[in-house]
Structure 1
Amino acid sequence: MTNINKVILFNPKSAIAKYRIPNSILNIAASIEGKYDWAIVDGNCEADPMEKIESYLRTGEYGYLGFTVMPGPQLKQAIEIAKAIKIKYPYTTMIWGGYFPSNQPKVVLDSKYVDFIINGPGDNAFPLLIDALENHKPYEFIKNLIYKADGKITKTIKEDLLDQDSLPPLPYNKLNNFYPLGKFLGKTYLGEHTMAYHSSIGCPFTCSFCAVVPIYEARWKAKSAQTVYKDIKYIKDNWGADAIEFHDNNFFVSEKRSVDFSKLIKPERMTWWGMARIDTMDKFKDSSLEIIRESGCKCIFFGAESGNNEILEQMDKGGTQTGEQIIRFAERLKQFDIIPEYSFVLGTPAATPEKVQKQIDFEINFIKQVKAVNPKTEIVIYTYTPVPTEGSELYKQVLEQGFAYPQTLEDWISPAWESFDLRKNPLTPWIKPEMIDKIRNFETVLNGVYPTVTDIKLNDLKRKSIKLLSTLRYKTNLYKYPYEIKLLQRFWQYRQPEIQGF
């Protein structure tokens, strides 16, 4: 009798172009390498990923499917394919991991076509679960699992974060057998062949609006600078990577590790980008920031969130960040020629619509202050979308104002909720349509005056033209009906990095 213990690892489509190395499922592949045979299917590389998955299932050798699922575009393909597989191949075991199932376990498991959720890192949980199912052993004591038992959601205890240097290396060569690895090294603002890499997991802070918090619970664990350098050098030497996007939630937690890595990577002449907190990096010495820039770090993403200290407290931003510091730090980075990429969240809950509008107006004016001290600052604008960090004061406010998530998995892939996942149209009862219009119109004008540097298709002539068209509106606060700017942006296919990446 043929064993059906092989594993399909699926990365649902998340990008129209410039897709990245599927690091999350590569981690799972590394965890079962040598124990169970596996195949990777990347929805970004397949015209028909369902057919590709079925080609494996039809062999009768594959019994397990692992999906990585982020909110937004990935969710649509994940739901449609998971449902179709469970109907056609009911004997298979469906295992989901990623931010969406970890934060929305009830709606996922109630669907009846997902059997288990890996709640956080799966380096131990995934292989242990397969072992238990294969050998008909109990899985109740495996950490980082969520599943249904007797109709009730069961969450096992969280596992301590593992020493990241002790984990097996990612099987890049084997990925290259499924898809030429060079396909994942796309042209971006950073370089001709940009690779994606995770050097750490988690974050040591507890922001109540962040989806990372319920999963990692203010924990952070990183690979050493030497291990990170070794991995990146391997990709560079074998496939020609010349730039790096660090997709860590918080790359710059440790000043020493950041500097050590910078010193190692500098001779490779690679350009790179990562994410950080303003109050953390503002403590870095000038000499450290100088080393980081000289190593090739061109741009750093910061969750500024708000220039209003009361809003920062409402968000439970933690740390010591203030509105004054946000402006001062943007100005400080000018001397090192590091571009700060600041994201702001507009439309947090308030007692009255007038207070919500006042907060939006405050943030618009604050963003203009940031631009005044450092025009190169990239601005990313989101509207507030609730994350179920249960017990947080902000989440209580959200519930009190009548917000509710979809009750079925299929509802999550409606156009309105897909926009919600991208934090562009939040469907929250306290944000009125006219408020959304003001946010989006200001964003249009702002992007006209200061087009993102990450849009590599936008030449100097186009940048000067759209800036000339937008400047009067920006200076006089005339944001309504910016149709002429929208027309140019649409015609030139203006790129928004928060939606489309670099």
Structure 2
Amino acid sequence: MNKILLYNPKSANAKYRIPNSILNIAASVDGKYEWVIVDGNCEADAWKKIESYLITGEFGYLGFTVMPGPQLKEALPISKAIKEKYPRTTMIWGGYFPSNQPKAVLDSGYVDFIINGPGDNAFPRLIDALEKHEPYEFIKNLIYKVDGKITKTIKEDLLDQDSLPPLPYDKLGTFYPLQKFLGKTYLGEHTMAYHSSIGCPFICSFCAVVPIYEARWKAKSAQHVYKDVKYIKDKYGADAIEFHDNNFFVSEKRAVDFAKLIEPENMTWWGMARIDTMDKFKDSSLELIRRSGCKCIFFGAESGNDEVLAQMDKGGTQTGEQIIRFAERLKKFDIIPEYSFVLGTPASSPEKVQAQIDFDINFIKKVKAVNPDTEIVIYTYTPVPTEGSELFKQVQAEGFKYPQTLEDWVSPAWESFDLRKNPLTPWLTPEMIDKIRNFETVLNGVYPTVTDIKLNELKRKAIKLVSTIRYKANLYKYPYEIKLLQRLWEYRQPEIQGF
């Protein structure tokens, strides 16, 4: 029973992307243990597919990657069913959710081990130890229970990314046609997903990455990234790239080197960055990045209020003034800035919470005024357990508590929480939440996202026409006519559905 089943739970309807996280784990054991991949996004009945492997009696280890929200909702019942029907198997979870909520995960009784961060070494070493009946207490990046108490082993230094084994794309293709993972998006007809780095060198107190990577960042070289991308392009027909790094543009030199390499390939691409980092890039660098095919860059603007940015421990040098100036700067390079804002952070009184919301609504309109092409993504603040941060201490003092069980985590209310749409935070009143959502509806009516490739020009003009009067007059209440059109035309929101 030493074969390994790796499972990527379903994350969205009809959205197929190369399952990089689980493929990384496959690479770590490839050639040493036999493994299979089940991708919930590609299966009509994932449990049926998983059981078809387990029933052979050959699979003793299961590795699940679990993000909060839809993936957790699918991973939980399947993990429970496996433990009930195949109790001799060893269940191992990795991903942001188990790393940040280990107690709820391990108390469930369905999960035996958590990989706390990168599993390139931890996963194969754990399997080795279990196979040989050897101690695993000194394997780094593990969380598990002993005598009812949770044990965390020490964190491993981030590995040199170029030294890791190549991802087994061709073997993935034996389970699912690889072309299926190259979906049609705003970027291209055949868009590939790729991770070129892990972690982030900043410690924003609202970010789930911080507790896992602790301000560390490691990246593959530009040459290595180009080699991988070109392989998928030449063999499987990829014509666009989504870089799913938490922060792709940490290094100007690496970004420029990659841009020079990828430019002749005529591919379109997208990545995530910090405003205060890229604002230091030379004009020549930004020009080259755009010329190489970079069409849109996601930035965490978070707030135009400098006090809120300090409260979030945004780090760096970002200010409200810089956010507006940088949006205007990118216009001349024809790069679309995709700004995300986080509204609804705690304050000392309800009046101050409301004032902060109003401030950022007006600030977003100022950003749109200087660069109408700026994509705006609006989240409602949802706490993450960044231990020791002043913001999380404030959140706890306000009475916010996480669910204590996995079953509670997958309730409809908490699933919406994980999508940052239903905050469940005691300092936000229903009226405040309604104002945020209604403004978002009107804003998306006046400026429909360019990433919605199914929304044709006629529909865009129609929804803009009915929304503009509201937008100019600051009338956001009860935008039922806009919601009706958005529902009728299945308007998509990038923060929930991606590209």
**Same fold, TM exceeding 0.5?**
yes
* Cα displacement string for residues 182-218 of structure 1 (whole angstroms, at most 9, x for unaligned residues): 0000000000000000000000000000000000000
> Aligned equivalents of 1:200 and 1:17: distance in 2?
26
> Aligned equivalents of 2:470 and 2:266: distance in 1?
41
* Offset, 1:18: 2.4
> Aligned equivalents of 1:277 and 1:72: distance in 2?
25
1:263 aligns with 2:260: yes
> Aligned equivalents of 1:331 and 1:72: distance in 2?
35
Match of 2:28 in 1: 31
> Aligned equivalents of 1:55 and 1:462: distance in 2?
46
> Aligned equivalents of 1:373 and 1:18: distance in 2?
34
Q: Is the 8 A contact 1:64 1:93 kept in 2?
A: yes
* Offset, 1:70: 0.4
- Other structure's SS at 1:178 match: coil
> Aligned equivalents of 1:81 and 1:378: distance in 2?
37
1:79 aligns with 2:76: yes
- Other structure's SS at 2:377 match: strand
Match of 2:134 in 1: 137
- Other structure's SS at 2:173 match: helix
* Offset, 1:451: 0.2
- Which stretches in structure 1 are left out of the alignment for 5+ residues? none
* Offset, 1:72: 1.1
* Cα displacement string for residues 161-182 of structure 1 (whole angstroms, at most 9, x for unaligned residues): 0000000000000000000000
- Other structure's SS at 2:435 match: helix
Match of 2:419 in 1: 422
1:398 aligns with 2:416: no
> Aligned equivalents of 2:262 and 2:13: distance in 1?
30
* Offset, 1:17: 1.6
- 1:494 corresponds, among 481, 491, 494, to 491
Match of 1:56 in 2: 53
1:175 aligns with 2:175: no
* Cα displacement string for residues 128-183 of structure 1 (whole angstroms, at most 9, x for unaligned residues): 00000000000000000000011111000000000000000000000000000000
Aligned length: 499
| Counterpart code for 1:232 | V
Match of 1:465 in 2: 462
> Aligned equivalents of 1:277 and 1:372: distance in 2?
21
Match of 2:292 in 1: 295
- 1:364 corresponds, among 361, 364, 367, to 361
1:206 aligns with 2:203: yes
| Counterpart code for 2:327 | A
> Aligned equivalents of 1:409 and 1:187: distance in 2?
34
> Aligned equivalents of 1:384 and 1:58: distance in 2?
44
| Counterpart code for 2:245 | D
Off by >3 Å, runs of 4+ in structure 1: none
Q: Is the 8 A contact 2:104 2:406 kept in 1?
A: yes
Match of 1:326 in 2: 323
Query: TM-score, normalization: structure 1?
Result: 0.99
> Aligned equivalents of 1:85 and 1:410: distance in 2?
16
> Aligned equivalents of 1:72 and 1:200: distance in 2?
24
1:151 aligns with 2:140: no
Match of 1:91 in 2: 88
Match of 1:229 in 2: 226
Query: TM-score, normalization: structure 2?
Result: 1.00
* Offset, 1:119: 0.3
- Other structure's SS at 1:177 match: coil
> Aligned equivalents of 2:73 and 2:455: distance in 1?
30
Q: Is the 8 A contact 2:2 2:33 kept in 1?
A: yes
- Other structure's SS at 1:318 match: coil
Q: How does 1:7-26 map to 2 (within 5 A)?
A: 7-26=4-23
> Aligned equivalents of 2:422 and 2:53: distance in 1?
38
> Aligned equivalents of 2:146 and 2:282: distance in 1?
52
- Other structure's SS at 1:44 match: helix
> Aligned equivalents of 1:453 and 1:151: distance in 2?
51
> Percentage identity across aligned positions?
87
Q: Is the 8 A contact 1:18 1:187 kept in 2?
A: no
- Which stretches in structure 2 are left out of the alignment for 5+ residues? none
Q: How does 1:446-485 map to 2 (within 5 A)?
A: 446-485=443-482
1:410 aligns with 2:407: yes
* Cα displacement string for residues 250-278 of structure 1 (whole angstroms, at most 9, x for unaligned residues): 00000000000000000000000000000
- 1:122 corresponds, among 119, 136, 140, to 119
> Aligned equivalents of 1:399 and 1:338: distance in 2?
40
Match of 1:286 in 2: 283
* Cα displacement string for residues 312-359 of structure 1 (whole angstroms, at most 9, x for unaligned residues): 000000000000000000000000000000000000011111111110
1:101 aligns with 2:98: yes
* Offset, 1:481: 0.3
Q: Is the 8 A contact 2:15 2:41 kept in 1?
A: no
